[in-house]
Amino acid sequence: MARARGERSNSTRPVLLLAAAPGAFRRALAERLARAPEGRGAAGGRRTRFRIAAASSGPEALRRGAEAEAAVVDLALPEGPGLDVIRELRDQNPRLAILAYATSPHESDHLAAVMAGADLFHEGGREPAAIERALEVAIDRRRLTWTIERNEGEVEAARDRLARLTGALAATIPASPPLRSPEDVIPFREAARRYLLAAVRLFDRDPRGLASALGVSYFALRRLLARYDVPFPTVRSRG
C-alpha cells in the first residue's frame, strides 16, 4: 500500500526505545507512541512519530538503545535494574532523551532516576497519554541540556586556546617587576586592555588570525576590542 503524502518511511523515523516488561500495558504504550503525529508539541518541541524498539530486559535495552534518539524506561525492568540501564544508556549516548517511570514509585525514585541520567521521571500511573506528554517534556529538556553542555564545552575550549595564546604573548612582553604594594595591582579592565593591545600588536594586520587565536568569531572580536577601547587591527591588503 502506498504511503500517504508527506509520511516518512519506517526506516527514516527516529527510534524510540521502550524498555518495559512485555504485556498488555507495553503494547498499548507502544501503539500510542507510534501514532504520535509530527508537529508542534505542547512543550514547544517537535512531536515525532517514532519507530518503536521494544526491550524486555536490561541487556536487550542496552543493545537496542544504541540507535535510539529517545527512551522510555520502566524502573521495574526485568533483569535491570532500570536505574542501571538508565545510567549505562546515558554513558552510551549523551544526546539520548530518557524518560523514566514507575507504576508503584518509591519516594526516592524521582531523585534516583534523575541522578542516574534520566531527563524526567514520570509517576502518573499507567496512562499511555500521560507518558506520551511526559516524553515530549523529556525530549525538550534533553535538547536544551545538550545545547547548554555543548556551548559550555566550546567556551572551555576557547579558554584553553586563550591560555595558550597568553603563553605566546608572555614571551613577547618584558617581564613585569614584582608587586610591592596593593597599589601595584591594576584594575581588571586595564589589565584586559593591555593584554588585548599586546595581542593586536602580535597579530598586526591579521584580525582573523587574532580572532581564531582568541577563540571568538571575527565579528565578536570587533565587539570585544571596542569594549576595551582597543583599535581594531588593520586588515592585510590583498595586493
Q: What is the pLDDT of residues 197-222, one digit of tens each?
A: 888 888 888 888 888 888 778 778 88
Q: Cα dihedral sign for 117, 123, 127, 133? A: negative
- The strand pairing partners of 97, in sequence order, are 70
pLDDT, tens digit, for every residue of 44-69?
445 557 899 999 999 999 999 988 99
Which pLDDT score, from 0 to 100, does residue 44 have? 43
Chain center to CA of 111: 21
Which residues have a Cβ under 8 Å from the Cβ of 160 and sit 6 or more positions away? none
First to last CA, the chain: 65
Report domain extents, the chain: 13-148, 182-227
CATH class of 13-148: alpha beta
